[in-house]
A and B are shown apart, each in its own frame.
Chain A
């Protein structure tokens, strides 16, 4: 199989470097996106459709990053985009919001098990910050318990002291505990009795560079009880997992009820929208928080979200994506084993994490991912992957073929492995 070249991507990147910090900043860029080596990765896309995107050099990729999650039905889904465009004809960013906002809120309240109300914004970080502010407004307390290695966006409070731009005041109220360590959590609550406003966590632990970890049996139920007993708001950051585990919310998937839940990514299939859902008891508190943005009530993404959620429900989306993820990963593990590679898979299959576990440096894994990307399978080497509903059996088969050839290439360079 011939490997890809990225001449035009590089040309655009060189132009970008002159006028955009880092050329492409953030998680889509070569530095944060861990393009290792950079020569193996495309930098700019030309178009996207279904499970694929094409870069500016015309190379096609089966995209297992799905724009880091938003692509859940397939890029340019006809139903979603038609709904959005129909709304555009009527109005999008207008002084008075469209009633379609109410329709989406009603749909979410009917769909998400814990939801009594919905507050819309744009990015995941908008609603994780709102969740924290709401918890503080409701409890009159300052502190928040977070899980070590968890990710809740890029607002200063979500970062760490020692990172550029972060001051002690930004993070002074954060308390960190280990995932699945209930005793540590209980001790932290005890040490800070009456001071903790919020416990925020993802429904399962999905850090970068590490195997993902599901909750231990009974973990969430004990956490739920502790929060209730201590008057702590339990906020679930479902930005990444949302609608890939359960359309009723990932708390529902794991058998507990959150007080607040944050959605974004898969909510509108790529149209820019996030939502904080909450219970009645917190409705007054969230109303009291001064929180808004220029485009937060634009109508097109609301129409897109209604179409996306309706289709996800109709297609039994989360279950289908989990089955696809299992089929994909089982094949990858088998192929890896043929070459002596131990491909560790973790997390829920619809957004699985994988790494070659033969070394503790990820060097082999980075080599293999690079070989896959150069042959048209877009994986990342540091982050969980994402499944979407446009993937076909042929796509999975092609992925397995490429994976085989990529393992072969790595094995040739490392005959000592396995």
Chain B
């Protein structure tokens, strides 16, 4: 059963978070925000806040609060999730004069993000599309994994079984590097590989990562044929994979 709070955290900290990578990877997205300098605080009840900053043609999302031009409030995780599903509107608490950004540029960015996160077989035939889709899917999956481990009742059990330390996740040949850091059953995701990782999960290509994360490839078969390598303190990877299995249900 899907948990509303977990879904809300994923929507904010795993899916919307992708806007920063989208603006790096996609020239069209970058064009939309080119001359925009403003910040939005997403404040949904029970969900840790997130600050989205657009400046100098870049987008940066951070967990927590800070200076913001627009503040969007949501009464509950359900309210936030309904906004993501296009069924509800946020309650603006600050920045009424800048609301046009939300209905204009931000809305276009969100559409662009949905375009890259909802692939079709035809779209995936385009090499650049496929590359961007895989990178964003990988970030979404692993950031979502941490939210599930920190919030979902079953996910918390699996997160608690991950020994303290870092799992380094690599997608070779042009893919991202991600660190999952576990401490006392709490999970955190960082871009890049921590030097002292205790375990590693390495996809040999963007295609393998895309296949496994989009559900087209069997990860066990990939371990067997070497296209997915795991090594180090395997119980960490094993329990992380159980969380990864929950990700698909939340991202449906």
> How far, in angstroms, from A39 to B245 measured CA to CA in the complex?
26
A209 on the interface (CB 8 Å rule)?
yes
Contact flags B145-188 to A (C-beta < 8 A → 1, else 0): 00000000011011001000100000000000000000000000
> How far, in angstroms, from A34 to B234 measured CA to CA in the complex?
8
Partner among A30, A31, A362 whose Cβ is within 8 Å of the Cβ of B232? A362
Q: Which of A38, A160, A162, A163 has the most CB of B within 10 A?
A: A162
B220 on the interface (CB 8 Å rule)?
yes
Given A13-B224, A17-B221, A361-B198, the answer on whether A161 and B157 have CB atoms closer than 8 Å is yes
> How far, in angstroms, from A191 to B232 measured CA to CA in the complex?
38
B225 on the interface (CB 8 Å rule)?
yes
Q: How far is the CB of A383 from chain B (nearest CB, A)?
A: 11
Q: Which residues of A contact B245 (CB under 8 A)?
A: 164
Binds B, one of A18-26, A98-106, A193-201, A399-407: A18-26
A209 B235 Cβ-Cβ under 8 A: yes
A363 B242 Cβ-Cβ under 8 A: no
B218 on the interface (CB 8 Å rule)?
yes
Given A160-B157, A161-B154, A162-B157, the answer on whether A29 and B232 have CB atoms closer than 8 Å is no
Which chain A residues in 156-194 approach chain B with CB under 8 Å? Answer: 160-164
B95 on the interface (CB 8 Å rule)?
no
Q: Which residues of A contact B128 (CB under 8 A)?
A: none
Given A39-B226, A162-B155, A164-B242, the answer on whether A382 and B221 have CB atoms closer than 8 Å is no
Residue on B with the closest CB to A359? B198
Given A161-B154, A162-B157, the answer on whether A363 and B231 have CB atoms closer than 8 Å is yes
A209 B221 Cβ-Cβ under 8 A: no
Partner among B155, B199, B230 whose Cβ is within 8 Å of the Cβ of A361? B199
A209 B233 Cβ-Cβ under 8 A: yes
> How far, in angstroms, from A31 to B225 measured CA to CA in the complex?
10
B91 on the interface (CB 8 Å rule)?
no
A89 on the interface (CB 8 Å rule)?
no
Q: Which residues of B contact A25 (CB under 8 A)?
A: 220
> How far, in angstroms, from A54 to B155 measured CA to CA in the complex?
43
Partner among B161, B221, B225, B232 whose Cβ is within 8 Å of the Cβ of A366? B232
Q: Which residues of B contact A161 (CB under 8 A)?
A: 154, 157
Partner among A24, A30, A366 whose Cβ is within 8 Å of the Cβ of B231? A366
Contact flags B197-234 to A (C-beta < 8 A → 1, else 0): 11100000000000000000010110111100111111
A24 B157 Cβ-Cβ under 8 A: no
B221 A22 Cβ-Cβ under 8 A: yes
Q: Which residues of B contact A366 (CB under 8 A)?
A: 231-232
Contact flags A204-217 to B (C-beta < 8 A → 1, else 0): 00000100000000
Q: Which of A14, A39, A361 has the most CB of B within 10 A?
A: A361
Q: Which residues of B contact A88 (CB under 8 A)?
A: none
A2 on the interface (CB 8 Å rule)?
no
Residue on B with the closest CB to A366? B231
A17 B232 Cβ-Cβ under 8 A: no
Partner among B198, B221, B231, B235 whose Cβ is within 8 Å of the Cβ of A36? B231
A30 B224 Cβ-Cβ under 8 A: yes
Q: Which residues of B contact A31 (CB under 8 A)?
A: 220, 223-224
> How far, in angstroms, from A34 to B230 measured CA to CA in the complex?
9
25 contacts between A and B (CB under 8 A): A13-B224, A13-B225, A14-B225, A21-B218, A21-B220, A22-B218, A22-B220, A22-B224, A23-B221, A23-B225, A29-B224, A31-B223, A36-B229, A36-B231, A36-B234, A38-B224, A38-B226, A161-B154, A162-B154, A164-B242, A164-B245, A209-B235, A361-B232, A362-B234, A363-B232
Could you list 20 further interchain pairs (A-B, Cβ under 8 angstroms) beyond the known A21-B218, A38-B224?
A: A13-B224, A14-B225, A17-B221, A17-B224, A21-B220, A22-B218, A22-B224, A24-B224, A30-B223, A31-B220, A36-B234, A161-B154, A161-B157, A162-B154, A162-B155, A162-B157, A162-B161, A361-B232, A361-B233, A362-B232
